[in-house]
Structure 1
Amino acid sequence: MSSNELRRDAKESSESTDTLSRRDMLRLSGAGAAAVAGAMTFRVGRAAPVSERKIRLGVVGGGFGTSFYWHEHPNCVVTGVTDLRPERRERLKAVYHCDAVYDSLEEMSERADDIDAVAVFSGALDHVKHAQMCFARGWHVVSAVPACFTLEEAEQLKEAAERSGLSYMMAETSYYRQPAILAREMHAKGAFGNLFYTEAEYYHDRGDLERLAADKSTRFFEPDGSHSWRWGLPPMHYPTHSTGLLVGVTGERITKVSCLGWGGHEHPYVTDNAYDNPYWNQASIMQTDRGNMLRCNVFWLCSAHGERAQWMGDNAMLYMDKGGVHGPKLHFRTAGETASRYDLPVQDGGDVDVPIYWQTDMLPEAMRHNSGHGGSHTFLSAEFINALVEDRPPAIDLYESLAMTVPGIVAHQSARKGGEQLAVPQFDRAG
């Protein structure tokens, strides 16, 4: 069954039996909210499967890789950890209470015989190579973003995953940000009408430019003083925090893109990098296979920080706040249309009480707490393990991952061609 079919099945199931008002749930707190949520049948995630099976997980990468919660899932045990740096290996060992520590993924693949799946949180340029190594070893893969860096790598990843028959998931945090879960629910219920336009943006300011160039203790440098993969990274090569806010809500595919880049300040970051990238910031207009529009920004030099989206339909608009500058809003175009018709948590005036989904039984009890990137890390951890236990594709499977990643690669090509509109190749399942 395809991921689109799974989404349709979930929608049909929810529409037939969803009877509890989210507004009622929001009046509750703590254990009460979790208990009431158990009566809700609309699911964007799932609580722990009823199974005794344990997924034995290896974790690669002691930086970002330590910020997930595999060890809190009742169906998972971390049985191996690895990083090239000794101090990061110790951090992994401490966080996941795992004594099986390896100096490298290569060593783990040669020696470990008690691993079913691997969380690949190594440097971004190694994601495809490391995923291929894991598939060759017979291990399922969940990977940090982006899935790949080139169109050739996209093809290699698709071929390796399909040949292996194993699961692949990309840990895209935008998918489980709380407003994005609400947007996905609204779309499934038809509240937007035709969702014809989305704005999505990811801003991650590089800060003081003198320090950026001189302070070799930051993540832009390796221990030997050389530049890390982050130095000079083309913004659109890290697109998924933006593209995921459309692809992850509607399942659409981006088919065309036109992008512009801005260089601005003269600095080694944009004049001396491994990518020959001259841009701090990139902005694009993308078109989907349904004829809809996405305005997608990724900026590295700006007085802003964070992720934000705005979903606009011919029936309703949802505004996702960023950093508390503006509160989330929901407006219907037709005066007679009401949020209560769709059982949505909206007050008078359009303010939205975004449900705190991580407090509900969408997660195993031990994982019902806040986590990184807007509460998404517990959801990502749980979804990968649940999918393996239930023997189903994860929500952000191979094809969703490539659909979020590849448009950014093409967008950067467009910027280098002065904004020329380019076709985006598709990497969905054949047939």
Structure 2
Amino acid sequence: MPVQDERGACHLSRRSFLECSGAAALVAGGDLLTRVGRAYPQETDKTIRMAVVGGRFGATFHWHEHPRCVVTAVTDLYPERRERLKNQYRCDAVYDSLETMIREAKDVDAVAVFSGAPDHAKQVKMCLDRGWHVVCAVPACVSLEEAAMLKEHKEKTGLRYMMAESSWYHQECIFARNLHRAGGFGELFYTEGEYYHDHGDLQKALTDKSGLPYNPDGTRSWRWGYPPMLYPTHSLGFLVGVTGERVVKVSCLGWRGTRPEVREHPFVTDNAYGSPFWCQASIMSTNRGHMCRVNEFRRCTNYGDRAQWFGDEATFYTPLSGVHESVICVRGKSAEIVAVPQYWQSDLLPEPMRRPSGHRGSAMFISAEFVNALLEDREPEIDLYESLAMTVPGIVAQESALKDGQQLAVPSFDRAQL
């Protein structure tokens, strides 16, 4: 039977969950299966002053919609992106570079770094050294040396760091996380995470400079030939963000293509990373003896990220476009479609932020969680250690793929155990 906690909230024991049909258990689970976080502390009179770096992806978040946050500075290297930031966040303090903003801005507590992936670690260090808390786009870094540097500087400064990983707050991932905490999976021994982002017409990509592989001025952007496994966090968020496990070993293979127009395309023969791969698939083992498969494909007829979690008592599948909705299968029961809660509708977000947002509802949660963490003087849920746990395995996977799938150890960048 469900039991009540000190707040009167109804929870299912693992045994009760497994005795119910899948759908009945989810309803009976009540609060436990709809919990995600908590609303901001309304008793505070503190206001967080945010700066935003990067006027493409950086203009899609909602810091300014939090009742206790205001955007006080924005910057991008390109004028059209600076204008977008200015309009999105209703901010007149516009700087033409991060360096200028660091030198001149006086009314900033924290900064959102949404520049190109190879610049993240360097720019985060600059902001930490300036005394600003940081929320950063994925990935956290692109090398093991950068991972070590981030750990050193975060711990030295004592400032807050968060990585804005969207899959962590996908509605289905929140559901899986709560289901795991309830014991509903039994032993969750295998996770699959996938991120598919096709590059489209390869010939057009050579001449049409309006797409992501190019900067506004027509030069190649950081995305040109970027190794798929150096962008692993959407997939690994489904592991780390549900179980908290750490990847300790990885073996990865890469696909280069066989047809000349694919194998000899400049994306994979002429890029800044020396990477020949369009698609990569890896198998990873965790510190709890569990397995995880990660697919990162950039040449495929599919799009988006999805996951599957396999326990010895239950399995949960996120939607697969054109095939099935969210599905749960509990031992001894038939598979059932699950109506995953729309968590953004709950009172666990500040009221002005309770509406749909980008990346399957995650943008509001990322924005609110970072601001709430600063208001409460605590580490964000996706702190530096969780961020590196989602980033570093991909760096090692890329090395494994270049060594034809050799299994390699993944170093840990967790906080030191006292």
Asked if Structure 1 and Structure 2 have the same fold, meaning a TM-score greater than 0.5 normalized by the shorter chain, the answer is: yes
The equivalent of 2:201 in structure 1 is 208
The 1:41–1:245 alpha-carbon spacing in structure 2 relative to 1, beyond 3 Å, is closer
CA contact 1:14–1:41 (8 Å) conserved in 2: no
CA offsets per residue over residues 250-277 of structure 1, 9 Å max, x none? 1000000000000002211111111111
- Structure 2 unmatched ranges of 5 or more: 13-21
In the alignment, which residue of structure 2 is the partner of 1:19? Answer: 10
List structure 1 segments (4+ residues) > 4 angstroms apart after TM superposition.
12-17, 20-24, 39-42
The structure-2 alpha-carbon separation of the partners of 1:301 and 1:41, relative to structure 1 and needing over 3 Å to count, comes to closer
**Counterpart residue number, 1:234:** 227
1:168 aligns with 2:166: no
SS of the residue 1:57 aligns to: strand
Alpha-carbon shift at residue 428 of structure 1 (Å): 0.2
Q: What secondary structure is seen at the aligned counterpart in 1 of 2:283?
A: strand
Structure 1 residues 14 and 416, CA gap change in structure 2 (3 angstroms) = farther
Among candidates 50, 53, 61, match of residue 54 of structure 2: 61
**Distance (whole Å) between structure 2 residues aligned to residue 324 and residue 129 of structure 1:** 41
Structure 2 partner of 1:197: 190
Which moved further from structure 2: 362-371 or 218-227? 218-227
Q: Using a 3 Å threshold, how does the CA distance of structure 1 residues 326 and 143 change in structure 2: closer, same or farther?
A: same
Query: Separation in 1 of the partners of 2:270 and 2:309?
Result: 37
Whole-Å Cα distance in 1 between the matches of residues 384 and 373 of structure 2? 13
Please name the residue that 2:38 is paired with: 46
Contact 2:78 2:216 in 1 (8 A): no
Q: Does 1:72 align with 2:65?
A: yes
Output the CA distance in 1 between the equivalents of 2:47 and 2:287: 39
Match of 2:242 in 1: 249
Cα distance change on mapping 1:89 and 1:121 into 2, 3 Å: same
Matches within 5 A, 1:250-399: 250-264=243-257, 265-266=262-263, 267-335=265-333, 349-399=335-385
Moved more, 314-323 or 393-402: 314-323
Question: How far apart, CA to CA, are the structure 1 residues paired with 2:120 and 2:50?
Answer: 17
User: In the TM superposition, what whole-angstrom CA distance separates every residue of 1:160-202 from its partner, at most 9, and x where no partner exists?
Assistant: 1111100000000000000000000001100001000011100
Are residues 1:400 and 2:386 paired? yes
Residue 324 of structure 1, CA deviation:
4.9
Q: Is contact 1:306-1:323 (8 Å) kept?
A: no
Verify the 8 A CA contact 2:74 2:86 in the aligned structure 1.
yes
Gaps of 5+ in 1: 1-11, 28-36, 336-347
Aligned to 1:345: none
In structure 1, how many angstroms separate the alpha carbons of the residues matched to 2:119 and 2:5?
40
**Structure 1 residue 424 and structure 2 residue 415: aligned?**
no
What SS class does the counterpart of residue 111 from structure 2 fall into? strand
Measured in 1, the distance between the counterparts of 2:32 and 2:194 equals: 31
Structure 2 counterpart SS, 1:106:
helix
Contact residue 5 and residue 11 of structure 2 kept, 8 A: no
In the superposition, the TM-score normalised over structure 1's length comes to 0.88
Aligned pair in 2 of structure 1 residues 48, 13: CA closer, same or farther (>3 Å)? Answer: farther
What value does the CA root-mean-square deviation take over the aligned residues?
2.2
In 2 relative to 1, CA 15–201 (structure 1 residues): closer, same or farther, beyond 3 Å? farther
Name whichever of 216-225 and 197-206 sits farther off. 216-225
Instruction: Report deviation, 1:334.
Output: 3.4
Closer, same or farther: CA 294–226 of 1 in aligned 2, 3 Å:
same
Pick which of 121-130 and 398-407 moved more: 121-130
1:15 CA displacement: 9.2
Aligned partners of 2:55 and 2:85 also within 8 Å = yes
Do the aligned residues in 1 keep the contact of 2:51 with 2:111 (CA within 8 Å)? yes
How far, CA to CA, are the matches of 2:352 and 2:375 in structure 1?
18
Any idea what SS the aligned residue of 2:193 has? strand
In 2, the alpha carbon distance for the partners of 1:16 and 1:428 equals: 34
Shift of 1:219: 2.0
Cα distance in 1 for residues equivalent to 2:187 and 2:289: 11
What percent identity do the matched residue pairs reach?
61
- How far is the alpha carbon of 1:226 from its aligned partner? 2.5
Cα gap change, 1:119 to 1:282, in 2 (>3 Å):
same
* Residue 118, structure 1, aligned to residue 116, structure 2: no
Match of 1:415 in 2: 401
The alpha-carbon distance between structure 1 residues 46 and 324, as it changes in their structure 2 partners (threshold 3 A), is farther
Q: Output the CA distance in 2 between the equivalents of 1:14 and 1:200.
A: 33
